Amino acid sequence: MKHCFRCWAEVDLDALRGNLAWIRHRVGPQVKIMTVVKADAYGHGLKQIAALLMQNGTDLFGVANLAEARAIHSVGQGWPVLMLGACLPDEAELTVLDGVIPTISTLQEAKRFSQAASRLNRPTRVHIKVDTGMGRLGVSVRKARELIVQVNRLPGLKLEGIYTHYASVEDDLEFSRAQRKRFQTLLDRLEVEGMAIPMIHANNSGALLHEPGTLFNLVRPGLLVYGVAPPGKRRLASTLQKHLHAALALKCRVSLVKEIPRGTPLSYGRMFVARTKMRVATLTAGYGDGYLRACSNRARVLIDGKRCPVLGRVTMDQMIADVSRVPGVKPGDEVVLIGRQRGDEISVNELAGWCDTIPWEVLTSISYRVPRIYRGSQAA
């Protein structure tokens, strides 16, 4: 399809479908899947991705805020959506009205939702989060049983789930196992006391790979669904990559090609000065599109299948690359910032490494001015 975009993202729906199918195979048919679609489905486009996942095996969605939940319900009314963050006090009534499942960490939050549910005559499902070491949200393990008992007594609330979150599962085996032990000890006590909770979950993408013994009956994959393995110190099987397929490619175009003499400074701050005569290309992407400024003088792009260094600072709408070894490059040529071109590939993890950051930031930084083009079956 011909288009005139200066910077765009291509999303492979077949890759997403295959990644979700692999996760389903890995966890088995008895374990439900909550796909995390925060931050515009990790930059892939929330509504389009939610529609695809609804048809291909997702049981629930995990979001960060009410706007994301409403976007999902605009695609599929009534789909179960868990708010993974804490609701603000003035969001309680809207959360109940919208049928969104809140996360509860305190009795004060629980009472707020109970009052809203009773006032609106809308019974509300809730999940309690247990802090086993993340420190961000959640009731302490020591106080979790007491909160569960109190929530079960409040009118208008149905305790549907209990969960925790790994803090460093990709890097720290010992701490992750300690978190697992704390959570399991709590679950064992609840079972002995006959307190059955329908949904129990702990595993994010990293834990799905490194802690398969804590699948329980619900998992929360995010990055894996989009075909990216969370990086870290704990090793992964080399066969993993054949099962995962990156769904997103980020591309732009060459706008200008010119020869520069030795000693020519490039871009703001003169971070790069040519040591010899060079041929350089100006590219139609910058940090306004979400291509991180930290890529300045560090990253590579693909032009005609060849890796070309990014020279000087990445600016808001443009950047410069060395095309001295790419004969015939001309304005209008396609440039791959993330993705594959002629047998080579720049992965999200590779780009994140150049920028001293994480793949989550790379993906979610892609801005709304970048059009998403969907490829594969069910593409709109």
**CATH number of 282's domain:** 2.40.37.10
Tokens standing for 327? Answer: 């004969």
Residue 278 pairs in a beta bridge with 260
Q: Which residues contact 177 (CB under 8 A, 6 or more apart)?
A: none
Q: Are residues 101 and 194 in the same domain?
A: yes
Residue 129 is among the residues annotated as catalytic for this protein: no
Report the amino acid identity of residue 68: E
- Asked if residues 201 and 218 have their Cβ atoms less than 8 Å apart, the reply is yes
- pLDDT per position as a tens digit, 160-198: 999 999 999 999 999 999 999 999 999 999 999 999 999
Does residue 290 belong to any structural domain of this protein? yes
User: Given 170, 195, 226, which residue is the final one in a domain?
Assistant: 226
User: Given 226, 261, 294, which residue is the final one in a domain?
Assistant: 226
Q: Are residues 113 and 36 in the same domain?
A: yes
Can you say whether residue 342 is alpha, beta or left, with left for phi > 0 and alpha for psi between -120 and 50 degrees?
left
Q: Are residues 221 and 254 in the same domain?
A: no
Q: Are residues 205 and 280 in the same domain?
A: no
The catalytically annotated residue of 143, 181, 268, 368 is 268
Q: What is the mean pLDDT of the chain?
A: 95
- Asked if residues 280 and 258 have their Cβ atoms less than 8 Å apart, the reply is yes
- pLDDT per position as a tens digit, 247-298: 999 999 999 999 999 999 999 999 999 999 999 999 999 999 999 999 999 9
CA distance 91 to 112: 10
CA distance 167 to 332: 45
Does residue 317 belong to any structural domain of this protein? yes
Supply φ then ψ for residue 361, to 5 degrees.
Answer: -70, -40
- Confidence band, pLDDT 50/70/90 cuts, at residue 312: very high
Report the amino acid identity of residue 126: V
Q: In this predicted structure, what is the pLDDT of residue 274?
A: 96
Does residue 233 belong to any structural domain of this protein? no
- Asked if residues 273 and 264 have their Cβ atoms less than 8 Å apart, the reply is yes
Q: Are residues 214 and 268 in the same domain?
A: no
- Confidence band, pLDDT 50/70/90 cuts, at residue 1: very low
Range of 199's domain? 31-226
Q: Are residues 256 and 144 in the same domain?
A: no
The catalytically annotated residue of 38, 166, 287, 291 is 38
Residue 199 has pLDDT above 70, yes or no: yes
Average pLDDT on 43-69 reads 96
Does residue 139 belong to any structural domain of this protein? yes
Q: In this predicted structure, what is the pLDDT of residue 379?
A: 52
CATH number of residue 97's parent domain = 3.20.20.10
- pLDDT per position as a tens digit, 91-128: 999 999 999 999 999 999 999 999 999 999 999 999 99
Q: In this predicted structure, what is the pLDDT of residue 238?
A: 66
Q: Are residues 179 and 323 in the same domain?
A: no
Does residue 292 belong to any structural domain of this protein? yes
- Confidence band, pLDDT 50/70/90 cuts, at residue 240: confident
CA distance 229 to 223: 7
Q: Are residues 203 and 66 in the same domain?
A: yes
Can you say whether residue 270 is alpha, beta or left, with left for phi > 0 and alpha for psi between -120 and 50 degrees?
left
Average pLDDT on 17-46 reads 96
Residue 38 is among the residues annotated as catalytic for this protein: yes
Tokens 């129990």 locate to 200
- Asked if residues 271 and 280 have their Cβ atoms less than 8 Å apart, the reply is no
Does residue 5 belong to any structural domain of this protein? no
309: enclosing H helix or E strand: strand 306-311
Report the amino acid identity of residue 211: E
Number of structural domains found in the chain = 2
Q: Are residues 44 and 171 in the same domain?
A: yes
**Pick from 82, 368, 26: nearest CA to 229:** 26
Residue 317 has pLDDT above 60, yes or no: yes
- In order of 62, 261, 312, 313, 378, the CA distances from 300 in angstroms are 34, 22, 12, 13, 33
Q: Are residues 278 and 212 in the same domain?
A: no
Does residue 1 belong to any structural domain of this protein? no
Q: Are residues 209 and 279 in the same domain?
A: no
Q: Are residues 280 and 209 in the same domain?
A: no
Does residue 362 belong to any structural domain of this protein? yes
Residue 17 has pLDDT above 90, yes or no: yes
Q: In this predicted structure, what is the pLDDT of residue 4?
A: 80
